[in-house]
Amino acid sequence: MQTMNNDLVLQVTDLRTYFNTDDGVVKAVDGVSFALRTGETLGLVGESGCGKSVSCLSVMKLIPSPPGRIMSGQALLRGKNIFDLSADRIRQIRGGKISMIFQDPMTSLNPFLRISTQMIETIQLHQGTDKMQAKDKAIDMLRLVGIPNPGKRVDDYPHQFSGGMRQRVMIGMALSCNPEVLIADEPSTALDVTIQAQILEIIKNLSVEFGTAVILITHDLGVVAGMCDNICVMYAGRIVEKAKVDDLYQDPKHPYTQGLIKSVPRLDKPGKQRLYSIEGQPPNLIDLPDVCTFYPRCEYAMDICRQKYPPEFVTDGRAVRCWLYKEEK
């Protein structure tokens, strides 16, 4: 039986999403579990292809079928399993209760429609307002995310905005219906450093102002350090370590997490040092054997790593999937 906390917004349990290909089954997400509370920011980090985006697209039921399929698991939004809801009910939740900021705003915005048309449609659908009220709300949201002269710019087309401004539009659109959960899928990847900082600051401030819970998908550990409360580190479709952000940076447990942190350039180290990189490549996710997927790249690999995938061990108040912590269970 699930135990629900009043401020527990989203609880994902044993999520498995597979893709059927001509070469075999790709286990893109294979047993992912995490929880998200009101006002909390959760970071999903890991190399490209580890399952971060697919996990969140699964929660929103945006997996293309075929070839993808959610094989098992639950995604409880305020105690109700999203996967059990009808298509009409999920459309009401998507954009209303849960919103998502996608990686590339240019491909997420319709180039043939004015920004006002796209924002008004979303607000009317989820909040039941008339067209004038919806346009006023759209202008207010553009002003809130820092678009200059929003009353005029709301009627522009996406190509008339810069990359950073388009991302602000996406944030304003995502937050226009006061969602309980905001999923930000690498929202600053295509932007320069200065604009990145501005976009992340907007998300952080709006989360505090509205109490919105945020899932931040990124491979940038520097972003996570300044934005998140808790972190889930993913590798090959599974979460290998969960921890509070300060604990993880001070004392990473999983060898993969240690490698990720060591690969970040440090300004507080004296002299010139060669930048660390994790040897090898991520595994092919097609028909993976039930062994530790990181062992070919791990300096601590043992015989048991080649025989069986580790369960979740709890050490120093965090969950780690590594046989190094077997004795601590």
pLDDT confidence of residue 135? 93
pLDDT confidence of residue 193? 76
Each residue of 225-276: pLDDT tens digit? 888 999 999 999 999 999 999 999 999 999 999 999 888 777 766 667 777 8
In a domain, 97, yes or no: no
Q: What is the mean pLDDT of residues 55-61?
A: 94
In a domain, 40, yes or no: yes
1: confidence class by pLDDT, cuts 50, 70, 90? very low
Q: What is the CATH number of the domain that holds 323?
A: 3.40.50.300
- Distance in angstroms (rounded) separating the CA atoms of residues 166 and 170: 6
Residue with tokens 């939740």: 93
Q: Which residues are bridge partners to 278 per DSSP?
A: none
Please give the mean pLDDT across all residues of the chain.
88
DSSP state of 97: T
Each residue of 142-193: pLDDT tens digit? 998 888 999 999 999 999 998 888 888 988 888 888 889 999 988 876 667 7
pLDDT confidence of residue 2? 40
Backbone angles phi, psi at 134, to 5 degrees: -65, -40
In a domain, 49, yes or no: yes
Each residue of 198-238: pLDDT tens digit? 878 888 887 888 888 999 998 888 888 888 999 999 999 99
Which domain covers residue 37, as residue numbers?
Answer: 1-85+220-265+282-329
In a domain, 260, yes or no: yes
In a domain, 328, yes or no: yes
In a domain, 186, yes or no: no
In a domain, 183, yes or no: no
- pLDDT higher for 14 or 167? 14
pLDDT confidence of residue 224? 87
pLDDT confidence of residue 200? 84
328: confidence class by pLDDT, cuts 50, 70, 90? low
Which residues contact residue 17 at a Cβ distance below 8 angstroms, ignoring those fewer than 6 apart?
Answer: 28, 29, 51, 54, 55, 58, 63, 68, 69, 70, 71
Number of Cβ within a 10 Å radius of residue 85: 15
Helices (H), 176-325: 193-210, 221-227, 245-250, 255-262
pLDDT confidence of residue 202? 82
Looking at the predicted structure, is the pLDDT value of residue 196 above 80? no
pLDDT confidence of residue 6? 57
Q: Domain count of the chain?
A: 1
In a domain, 206, yes or no: no
pLDDT confidence of residue 258? 93
Residue 123 and residue 176 in contact, taking contact as beta carbons nearer than 8 Å? yes
17: confidence class by pLDDT, cuts 50, 70, 90? very high
Number of Cβ within a 10 Å radius of residue 261: 16
Closest to 40 (Cα-Cα) out of 207, 176, 175: 207
Each residue of 63-120: pLDDT tens digit? 988 899 999 999 999 989 999 999 889 988 888 899 988 877 777 888 999 999 999 9
